[in-house]
A = this chain, B = another copy of it.
């Protein structure tokens, strides 16, 4: 569970909700036709823009904003220390039964290739291809959120223009101007909220996740190369630690590293 995403969304919703509630009541903010045109229009834009499989893919990718199965850098170091011990006892072939236990396809592919004794170039090429495919999927998901982030406010404005035109062309009772204007502004509010509370921050989270995953995959790739060259446990750790970004490095206790 990514607590920050949940917390951020909750914070935003509570802010908006309490602003609506304490400013009077929240009822005038719920209006079916306004919801329809803002989200229906955004959906229409997305349906035309992207082929169907990319829309499905984007929602699968969006899951990683909330739930992340990625290990942290210290856990990866721990994992590879474990693999190195196995290799020292049973040789590279001993990694084969371990590969089958992995659910992460990147780790699985890496362990299989290392166990089968592939050379450095083959392992690097295969894992880079895997990493590149993950990057494309993330970028593709991010692009969908960015398209929604620009379509939603535009459709909000279209809804407001429709509402304004209707209110203005049937202006019999000047007392209705206020409530008519209030309804017309709702679509602009929906569009802005959808873009700034969901689409733009989630696109940002996907980018952050992408950078984190790239780091983890780089550490793992270095780990497989280090296992192949059958270096000492200490040197393997040293090589992996060089790939951890300095801001996160202090999370990997150096004492424990030296003790190993």
Contacts and interface: CB of A to CB of B under 8 A. Distances in A.
Interface of A: 4-5, 7-9, 11-12, 14-16, 18-20, 22-24, 28-29, 33, 36-37, 40-41, 43-54, 57, 65, 133, 136-137, 140, 147, 151, 154-155, 157-159, 161-166, 168-171, 175, 178-179, 181-182, 185-186, 188-189, 192-193, 195-197, 200-202, 204-205, 208, 212, 245-248, 251
A84 B147 CA distance: 42
A241 B34 CA distance: 46
**Is the contact region of chain A dominated by helix, strand, or loop, or is it mixed?**
helix
Contacts of A45: 8, 12, 196-197, 200-201, 204
The 5 closest A-B CB pairs, nearest first, are A8-B47, A49-B204, A12-B44, A171-B178, A48-B201
Nearest to A52: B4
Contacts of A248: 53
A4 B51 contact: yes
Nearest to A195: B154
Given A44-B197, A44-B201, 6 more contacts: A4-B51, A29-B165, A45-B201, A45-B204, A140-B247, A169-B182
A36 B12 CA distance: 10
